[in-house]
């Protein structure tokens, strides 16, 4: 059974995979889209959390991080038959 707490794996900047909860990945995708547009949807920015999780250098563009998270989420949802 698929639940929001189901763990999935996504690719990191270092070409390895790391587990993350589906709900966390979904929240990151939403928050990063907002942060790219200059908005903040949580008390603290999500970018540094995701950047550290993925192992991205500071020079790596936020837009690319957001795109990676969104694309990863979409692919996982398709694999799970959620969307």
- Which residue in this structure is represented by tokens 């999935």? 8
Which pLDDT belongs to residue 81?
A: 87
Divide the 83 residues of the chain into consecutive groups of 10 and give the mean pLDDT of each group. 90 96 96 97 95 96 97 94 80
Q: Distance between CA atoms of 9 and 20, rounded to whole angstroms? A: 6
Q: What is the pLDDT of residue 2?
A: 84
DSSP codes joined into one string, 4-65: TT-EEEEE-TTS-EEEEEHHHHHHHHHHHHHHHTT---SSS-SHHHHHHHHT--TTS-HHHH
């Amino acid at each position: 059974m698929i639940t929001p707490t189901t763990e999935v794996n996504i690719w990191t900047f270092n070409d390895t995979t790391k587990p993350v909860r589906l709900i966390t990945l979904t929240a990151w995708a939403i928050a990063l889209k907002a942060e790219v547009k200059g908005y903040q949807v949580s008390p603290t920015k999500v970018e540094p959390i995701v950047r550290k999780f993925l192992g991205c250098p500071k020079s790596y563009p936020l837009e690319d991080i957001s795109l990676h998270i969104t694309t990863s989420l979409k692919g996982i949802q398709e694999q799970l038959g959620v969307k």
